[in-house]
Chain A
Amino acid sequence: MHLEHHHDGPGAVSADARRPDGARRALRIGLGGPVGSGKTATVAALCRALRDELSLAVVTNDIYTREDAEFLLREAVLPPERITAVETGACPHTAIRDDISANLEAVEDLEDEVGPLDLILVESGGDNLTATFSKGLVDAQIFVIDVAGGDDIPRKGGPGVTTADLLVVNKTDLAPYVGSDLERMAADAKAQRAELPVVFQSLRSEAGVADVAGWVRAQLAAWTA
C-alpha cells in the first residue's frame, strides 16, 4: 500500500534505491581516472561483455564535447538511445561530486526512457588523482590508471587510488616499452588500499576486460540480493 502512494510522486531526490513507481533502480557504477588512461575503452569493453546478459546504459562526461559518447556510438557497443552525454562545462570532478544534478538527470532520464535497467555506467571526464564520485550519484566506483602514466601513481595515492572500490591498472602490455615496474605498482597499490581489490588489465590481451566484468557482476549480485 505504501508503494501505491508513490506512484504519481515526484522523482527521486538523489540516491534513493527506489524509483517513484516503487521499483528498484539500476545499480550505478562510476568510472574515473586521469586523461587517457582508458576509461572509455574499458566502458566499451564492459558493454560488449555484459550487454547480452544485462539491460545496461552509459552516461559519459566530457568537458566541452561529446567525444566519448561519439566513440561509443561509432563502436556500436550499445544502441544510441542507451548512451547519454553530459557536457560538464567545468572541471569533470565538479559534475560527479560537487554538483551532481546534471548526471542525476541523465541517469533518471535513461531509466525513464529505456528502462527497466540493471546497470548504468557513469564515465567521468579525464581528471586528476583526487577525482571521486559522490555517493549521491553512484553506488560503487572504479578508478582507472595506466602503466604509461608513470608507475609511481599507486605510490602517490590520492582519493581515487586509495578509496575507489576497484582500482584498474590498464595497458599492462605497454609496461616493457615505458619502463614501468608492474610488481612495484602492485605492491604500492596494496600498501595504499589494504584489502580493496586491484585489477591489472590489458584490453589487447585475450582476457581483456574479464576481471572487471566479473567484479561488476558481483556488485550487481550484491545490489539485487
Chain B
Amino acid sequence: MKAGRITGAASLEAFCRGRLHTAGLVSASLAAAAVLGVDPAALDAAADARTPSPALRIAGRKLGRQLMRAARATWPLGELEALAREFPKGAHQPVVLGLAARAAGLEAVDAAYCAAYESVSGPASATVRLLSLDPFDATGVLARVAPEVDRVADRAVEAARRVVDGGVDALPAASAPLLEISAEVHAAWAVRLFAS
C-alpha cells in the first residue's frame, strides 16, 4: 500500500487474485496434505523450501505456533501434541491448520478452503484498516474471487492426493516474488502496524 500498488477495490482484487493462485494454492495444498495424514515434518520442510523470504518463514512459524496453542486447547490429538513437541517454536501455519482440521474431524477440502480463503481475507481486512477502504467494497472483492477460491481448493486437494503416493515434491511451488520481496522490506521498517 505504501508503494502505491494497492489504492482501492480494483487493485485489491488483483492483489488477492495473485496471492490466491500462488501463496494461497501452496498453503491450501500443504493444509490438505496434512489432513490426509502426510508426515507433517516433511510438509514443514516443503513449506520452508517454498518460502524464500526469511521474514515470511518466521511469520509462518509464529502463526503456526499460535494456531497450535488454540488447536491443542480445543481438539486434543496425539498427532498435534507430537508436532508441538517436535516444533516448540512453531511449524508452518498451513501444516498446523491441516492437522488441526484432521483433529477436528474435517476433510482435506475443508482445510484447503480455510487456507485459500485466508490468503485473500487477510489483505482485504488490512486494506480496510490501512487504507480506510469501505468495508463493503472489501467484502465485495472477496465475494467476486469466491469462484476462484473454489477452484484453488479443488486443485489443492488434487495435489494433496498426489502427495500421498508421490511424496511432497508433488506439491505445487507457485510463487509471487513481489510478496517475498515486500515482506523483507516490511520487516526492516521501524514502525509497523502488523507483525507480518
Q: Within the complex, which residue of A13, A65, A101 is in contact with B190, where a contact is CB–CB below 8 Å?
A: A65
- The chain B residue sitting closest to A102, CB to CB, is B66
* Contacting pair A87 B192 (CB below 8 A): yes
A101-B69, A101-B70 are known contacts. Are A10 and B192 too (CB-CB below 8 A)?
no
How many A-B contacts at CB < 8 Å in the complex? 39
A65 to B190 CA separation, bound complex (whole angstroms): 7
* Contacting pair A14 B193 (CB below 8 A): no
Interface residues of A in 79-107 (CB under 8 A from B): 87, 89, 99, 101-102, 104-105
A8 to B81 CA separation, bound complex (whole angstroms): 11
Q: Residues of A within 8 Å of B, CB-based: how many?
A: 16
- The chain A residue sitting closest to B86, CB to CB, is A10
B85 contact set on A, CB distance < 8 A = 8-10
1/0 contact trace for B57-81 toward A, CB 8 Å?
0000010011001101100000001
* Contacting pair B66 A10 (CB below 8 A): no
* Contacting pair B195 A13 (CB below 8 A): no
A10-B72, A10-B85 are known contacts. Are A89 and B66 too (CB-CB below 8 A)?
no
Q: Within the complex, which residue of B69, B72, B193, B194 is in contact with A104, where a contact is CB–CB below 8 Å?
A: B69
* Contacting pair A64 B192 (CB below 8 A): yes
1/0 contact trace for A7-18 toward B, CB 8 Å?
011110110000
* Contacting pair B72 A13 (CB below 8 A): yes
B128 at the interface (CB under 8 A from A): no
* Contacting pair B191 A65 (CB below 8 A): yes
* Contacting pair A101 B192 (CB below 8 A): no
* Contacting pair A10 B191 (CB below 8 A): no
A10 to B68 CA separation, bound complex (whole angstroms): 11
* Contacting pair B84 A89 (CB below 8 A): no
* Contacting pair B73 A13 (CB below 8 A): yes
Could you tell me the distance in whole angstroms from the C-beta of B144 to the nearest C-beta in chain A? 27
Could you tell me the distance in whole angstroms from the C-beta of A110 to the nearest C-beta in chain B? 14
A13 contact set on B, CB distance < 8 A = 69, 72-73
A104 to B70 CA separation, bound complex (whole angstroms): 12
* Contacting pair B88 A14 (CB below 8 A): no
A99 contact set on B, CB distance < 8 A = 66
- The chain A residue sitting closest to B66, CB to CB, is A101
Could you tell me the distance in whole angstroms from the C-beta of B172 to the nearest C-beta in chain A? 29
A87-B195, A89-B192, A89-B195 are known contacts. Are A10 and B70 too (CB-CB below 8 A)?
no
* Contacting pair A11 B84 (CB below 8 A): yes
A102 contact set on B, CB distance < 8 A = 62, 66, 195
1/0 contact trace for B159-196 toward A, CB 8 Å?
00000000000000000000000000000001111110
**Can you spell out 6 A-B residue pairs with CB atoms less than 8 angstroms apart?**
A10-B72, A63-B193, A64-B192, A89-B193, A104-B69, A105-B62
Identify the B interface with A (CB < 8 A): 62, 65-66, 69-70, 72-73, 81, 84-85, 88, 190-195
9 A-B pairs with the lowest CB-CB distances in the bound complex, closest first: A10-B84, A101-B66, A10-B85, A89-B194, A13-B73, A89-B195, A64-B191, A64-B193, A101-B69
Apart from A104-B69, A105-B65, A105-B66, list 20 A-B contacts with CB within 8 A.
A8-B85, A9-B85, A10-B72, A10-B84, A10-B85, A11-B84, A11-B88, A14-B69, A14-B73, A63-B193, A87-B195, A89-B192, A89-B194, A101-B65, A101-B69, A101-B70, A102-B62, A102-B66, A102-B195, A105-B62
Identify the A interface with B (CB < 8 A): 8-11, 13-14, 63-65, 87, 89, 99, 101-102, 104-105
